[in-house]
Amino acid sequence: MSGTDVLIVGAGVIGCALADRLTLAGASVRVCERGGVASATTAHGEGNVLVSDKAPGPELDLIRLSLRLWPETLDRIAERLPQDAAAVDWDRKGGIVVATTPEGADALSEFADGQRAAGVHCETMDSDGLAAAEPALTRDVRAAVYYPDDAQVQPVGAATAFLAAAVAAGAALETRCAVTGPIVRDGRLIGVHTTRGPRTATTVINAAGPWSGALSRLLGAPIAVAPRRGDVLVTAPLPPTVFHKVYDADYVGAVGSSAAALQSSAVVESTPAGPLLLGSTRRRCGFDDRLRPDSLSAIARKAIRLYPCLADAAIMRAYGGFRPYTDDHLPILGPDPRLPGLWHATGHEGGGVGLSTATAHLLTAALTDQPPILDIAPFTPARPAVLVRQQARA
């Protein structure tokens, strides 16, 4: 039987960031992943680190902390593992949110005013400034707001850099290692049974992303996390066309919606290799992994609305993935109130990559009794939107 201080279940970007920060704090860490490293949700994301889509409140506070931590974390990793840090492709290119209707312009202006009051740096753009920043963007724009702090990373590169730093510091990694049940002693979770045998730990962290609801049920402390699917179109490599992350103001409403039906909005951004990533959709459909024509056509139609030149762009591929969704749209961070020894780090939906550094910092501080930079209480697993009654089988 193998014992450790902290057993992290899940090697997506959240689990990998936790492994990095916990080993830095001196913990003995083991990561168990049922598949491959960063092979699920993390591999199917766009790598966004966004302040522009978050209203004043706990999640905005969390992303602002993450934006502070990202550069210093990458600088630390680069000292020992420069190639891994470089593969993250950190790009603070800024974001531009546009509105193409009068109603959208009013909503965007109000949203930006609220963010400014909370200390977010954002600037209203006039038509000349917008044309200079994004020459190929439609001129049929009623309002635009620039967010200089919005950034992008290569999500798999980020997760593997975090994990490489953790392993270099002594963390253990087991892939193809699925959890099959809990190990409980005197009412406390002291480990898990896996397909590779029992693994004991002082603390088990559920970082299984969209599958964390199923894992929590398996461990006997269910939380309300469900998969929410999103799809992305990838163009063939293009000459420089898009210079920021650009999206329609409808995106904020789609992120905040709790509807199960298809939600779509225009999101267009470049990558260092030349292809454009086109999104974005959200749909509650369980773990149905089929690509659906209505989703892909909505993405294409709305992207062309923002960038008419994309009507002639070739689509190289399409992909979709599942985000860990909670009804109140906040991550779940901290100890489970029903099962000592179990902690959760999940529920970030589409923001996991961006929020990973702050998530790792806050949980590490809590686990090692260090003063936190930010109050973790708003993300507690004990809140009504998250906690599921023991007898529930959802």
Residue 90 domain-assigned (yes or no): no
Residue 89 domain-assigned (yes or no): no
Residue 86 domain-assigned (yes or no): no
Which residues, other chains included, contact 368 with Cβ-Cβ below 8 Å and sequence gap of 6+? 25, 26, 27
Among 308, 325, 342, identify where a domain stops: 325
Q: Which residue has the tokens 């450790």?
A: 4
Q: Are strands 151-152 and 2-9 parallel, antiparallel or unpaired?
A: unpaired
Residue 11 domain-assigned (yes or no): yes
Same domain, 169 and 202: yes
Same domain, 200 and 167: yes
Same domain, 274 and 316: yes
Which residues on adjacent β-strands are paired with residue 193?
181, 198
Among 297, 325, 353, identify where a domain stops: 325
How many folded domains does the chain comprise? 2
Same domain, 75 and 206: yes
Among 325, 350, 370, identify where a domain stops: 325
What confidence tens digit (pLDDT) does each residue in 351-385 have?
A: 999 999 999 999 999 999 998 899 999 999 999 99
**Residue 119 belongs to domain spanning:** 95-148+226-325
CATH of the domain at 293: 3.30.9.10
Same domain, 263 and 312: yes
CATH of the domain at 166: 3.50.50.60
Residue 209 domain-assigned (yes or no): yes
Residue 245 domain-assigned (yes or no): yes
Which residues, other chains included, contact 333 with Cβ-Cβ below 8 Å and sequence gap of 6+? 344, 345, 359, 362, 363, 376, 379, 380, 381
Same domain, 231 and 264: yes
For residue 175, with 0-12 CB atoms within 10 Å meaning exposed, 13-18 middle and 19 or more buried, which class applies? middle
pLDDT for 372:
84
Which residues, other chains included, contact 251 with Cβ-Cβ below 8 Å and sequence gap of 6+? 53, 97, 265, 266, 267, 280
User: Of 282, 270, 210, 267, nearest to 235 (Cα)?
Assistant: 270
Q: What is the DSSP letter of 287?
A: B
Q: Which token pair is 320?
A: 């979709």
Same domain, 105 and 22: no
Same domain, 378 and 337: yes
Residues of the chain with pLDDT under 70: 1-3, 251, 253-257, 390-394
Same domain, 313 and 173: no
Same domain, 144 and 239: yes
Same domain, 29 and 144: no
Residue 392 domain-assigned (yes or no): no
Same domain, 335 and 320: no
Residue 271 domain-assigned (yes or no): yes
pLDDT for 165:
98
